[in-house]
Structure 1
Amino acid sequence: MLEVVEDIVIVGAGIAGLTTSLGLHRLGIKSLVLESSESLRAAGFAFLTWTNAWKALDAVGIADLLRQQHQLIDRIAIASTIPGEPPSEKPLKTKGKYGEHEIRCVKRKLLMEALERELPSGTIRYSSKVVSIEESGYFKLVRLVDGTVLKTKVLIGCDGVNSVVAKWLGFKKPAFAGRSAIRGYTNYKGSHGFEPRFLAFFGKGIRCGFLPCDDKTVYWFLTWTPSSQDEELEDNPAKMKQFVLSNVHVPDPIKAVVRDTPIDSIVASPLRYRQPWEVLWGNISKGGVCVAGDALHPMTPDIGQGGCSALEDSVVLARCIAEALNEKTGGQTKDRTTEDEEKYKKIEMGLKRYAKERRWRSFELISTAYVVGLIQQSDGMIVNFLREKILSVFLAGLLKKRADFNCGKLSIS
């Protein structure tokens, strides 16, 4: 059995894992990122990146590169899929508490590649699936499928909705929201001709959206409540495409985006979320272990904050760890056991600060996303009235309000 000692181990090379590692690297702290897949993952194609996410990307130093690669979305048009209902269009480029709002649809692949490029060579260890976590004094023993055991002082779970680390902390498996999502993206050889706006449609139990990433790429999604007949859709992109075309009642030029989408650029997945009270009362951190991103707060995509809040987590977490490790201790000479104990306590307090800072924010985002999704996709006279007359008016403002947040800079005092 090979035992390797690492100061900080991050499980999962997704958005939260790589951004946390980069944040630590910017602060002069080394970490090892474990990824179960053989290469960089870019599942989901793209995601809406709101103002709060750009604050985090600025903090880790990769925002400007991504800005050059993606269009600024300046407005949102919300319409019913029921014919005859006029769309409600609202500006997105307005002033908020932390400056002017900034919204772009970022290609996940470009974000992941930008993060990977900025990390020191060897930071990410691919084909490294975690099979168990054990305690050994002030350390955690992380066992990998290949038999390697990593001994670490800090263990960070950024391993998604089925997080091994979240399970170790006592979190339950995320609940099924009762809805599923189909996502796709279309690359055009020339300009697609769409304006820089977020087109959102909902009604009759369907919610869908279309967003340009740049002048040649359009990302789209559809969420719905699946029936037993829809079970085979998830593994059949051709049927997914047909399902979307049959159920989306939108203008032809927009529908053509789905028709033009290659089969290998369409995926489907069930939507899962953490029960909000679990985040309030659960162990976000315990000793030298914590979770971030989807491992902490899986949420439905109805306010577009899953990836954005993962970026926030990463900056806050990197800063809290760096502050803990930089705290001065007494000058007297200590034995190894006392040093380990003091370091453990500092790390524990740092992770507790992170948990405290992220608990209510995570609760707020999960709850808002779930309620908005429920209203957007439910049926019935009262809900239809709320959706058509009230939500469409307030949705743009609500989305901007939840995005009007600044996770702060990486610098530590």
Structure 2
Amino acid sequence: MDHTEEIVIVGAGLAGLAVAVGLHRKGLRSLVLESSDTLRAAGFALTVWTNAWRALDALGVGDSLRRHHLRLQAVVMSSASSASLVTKLPAKEHEVRCVRRNLLVEALAGELPHGTIRYSSKVVAMEDSGESKLLHLADGSTLKAKVVVGCDGINSAVSKWLGLKPPTFSGRHAARGFTVLPDGHGMKPEFMQYNGEGFRAGVLPCDEKSLYWFFTWTSNGEKETIPDHHDALMVKEFVLGKVKASEIPEQVVEIIDKSELSSVASAPLRYRSPLNLLSGNICKGNTCVTGDAFHPMTPDLGQGGCSALEDGVVLARCLADALCGGGNGEEEHRNRNRNRRVEAGLKDYEKARKWRAFRLVVGSYALGFVQESGNWFLRLVRERILAGFLVERLFVAASFDCGKL
């Protein structure tokens, strides 16, 4: 007989851990299935905006992370073609920090009871099994779940079961890296980005010694050789060639050059079709998706990981309200209307998150298109007219409040 779990979360990334911690805070146990043999820290760092700090505070880990990361004071946009400052907006009332991903996932995982995360457990398919779902794992084993939460990333098996279409290639690519300078970097606590012809680069300090950098670019078809995303050396040389040929400051070039190959990663940028977001199922019965399994997006608003944390808080709240109504979870689990209430709770989650995800996906794509355009007229408009508006979009997206648990 297959072992049955009440709530199974597929994937121990930001979204999966956030859901698990939120449920734990509400007195509900879950099992997290993680395909790798350890916690994943891919991406090295991410920009955590005001909305995500609200979510982290709701989950109880905000203060522990603040102690290790600088608060950024401004977002600075410069031209990579002329080296001139385009605009600079102070963060003012917003809290923006570049957070090391390993510290973030470790902080979330540290809040969970021992045994909550089961490693080397990759879900490859799922099917109905009465009122439960039968999860098929890569090792040939199976597991029954009364509630399934898919947090298994851009190639999600759960989103496939829900009927969501595969994410769409944006025509762009991204490289990311992390640089540690033992003697300190001496840079201002600012988010610096440089817009060029067909690319965008940026540098953010995490603390006094470490910096996160990114480089996104638009494919030019046969005119340009795209580096093998699995070859860190080729990716790094490609990025260095691009930034050296521009007017990006030498200090930024040195930061990229000094990053270890083990901290360089690259990938094509994909996103969920906005129409698929609105018309597709992000929940069905006792199953739903969150994070990249729900709303993969380009990184231009810096909201991929932030919105995944929002998802976790909202979903944990909706599930807890459905299962225990703030009372004793054991009694509610025995209630004969449990499945109906779970379905209603997931529908509440869908209503709360679908339009938010739609706006972020569309906004990220549009922002990236404008910022990386090589068209001379659009570049002129971007730098002379729209610069302040474009940077302000980052703060507008970050003003969202997902609420408390």
Cα offset, 1:86, TM superposition: 3.0
| C-alpha distance after superposition, 1:143-178 (max 9, x if no partner) | 112232211111000001000000111100000000
Measured at CA, do residues 51 and 328 of structure 1 come closer, stay the same or move farther in structure 2, by a change above 3 Å? closer
Measured at CA, do residues 124 and 374 of structure 1 come closer, stay the same or move farther in structure 2, by a change above 3 Å? same
Does residue 138 of structure 1 match 2:136? no
For structure 1, the 5+ residue unaligned runs are 94-99
| C-alpha distance after superposition, 1:376-412 (max 9, x if no partner) | 11222332223212332212211101100110001xx
Percentage of matched positions with identical amino acids? 51
Correspondence for 1:97: none
Matched-pair contact (CA < 8 Å) for 2:227–2:238: no
In 2, Cα distance between the equivalents of 1:295 and 1:328? 28
Matched-pair contact (CA < 8 Å) for 2:179–2:211: yes
| C-alpha distance after superposition, 1:96-118 (max 9, x if no partner) | xxxx3100001000001111111
| C-alpha distance after superposition, 1:57-115 (max 9, x if no partner) | 0000000000001000010110010125334211012xxxxxx3100001000001111
Matched-pair contact (CA < 8 Å) for 1:47–1:307: yes
Code of the residue aligned with 2:352 in structure 1: it is E
Matched-pair contact (CA < 8 Å) for 1:35–1:128: yes
Find 2:154's aligned residue among 143, 157, 161: 161
| C-alpha distance after superposition, 1:205-236 (max 9, x if no partner) | 01011000011100000000234553443122
TM-score normalised by structure 1 residue count: 0.93
Correspondence for 2:19: 20
Measured at CA, do residues 84 and 208 of structure 1 come closer, stay the same or move farther in structure 2, by a change above 3 Å? closer
Matched-pair contact (CA < 8 Å) for 2:271–2:361: yes
Does residue 109 of structure 1 match 2:102? yes
Correspondence for 1:223: 216
Measured at CA, do residues 393 and 85 of structure 1 come closer, stay the same or move farther in structure 2, by a change above 3 Å? same
Find 1:377's aligned residue among 372, 379, 385: 372
In 2, Cα distance between the equivalents of 1:322 and 1:157? 17
Within a 5 Å distance, the mapping from 1:14-413 to structure 2 comes to 14-83=13-82, 85-93=84-92, 100-226=93-219, 227-228=221-222, 229-248=224-243, 249=246, 250-327=248-325, 339-340=335-336, 342-410=337-405
In 2, Cα distance between the equivalents of 1:276 and 1:344? 30
Aligned residues between the structures: 396
In 2, Cα distance between the equivalents of 1:90 and 1:202? 16
Give 3-state SS (helix, strand or coil) of 1:36's partner. coil
In 2, Cα distance between the equivalents of 1:147 and 1:29? 28
For structure 2, the 5+ residue unaligned runs are none
Cα offset, 1:343, TM superposition: 0.7
| Comparing 352-361 and 377-386, the one that deviates more | 377-386
Give 3-state SS (helix, strand or coil) of 1:90's partner. strand
Matched-pair contact (CA < 8 Å) for 1:49–1:103: yes
Give 3-state SS (helix, strand or coil) of 2:67's partner. helix
4+ residue runs of structure 1 moved beyond 2 angstroms?
84-87, 226-233
In 1, Cα distance between the equivalents of 2:38 and 2:346? 29
Quote the RMSD (CA, aligned, Å).
1.7
Cα offset, 1:246, TM superposition: 1.4
Cα offset, 1:327, TM superposition: 4.2
Code of the residue aligned with 1:304 in structure 2: it is G
TM-score normalised by structure 2 residue count: 0.95
Matched-pair contact (CA < 8 Å) for 2:83–2:249: no
In 1, Cα distance between the equivalents of 2:83 and 2:144? 63
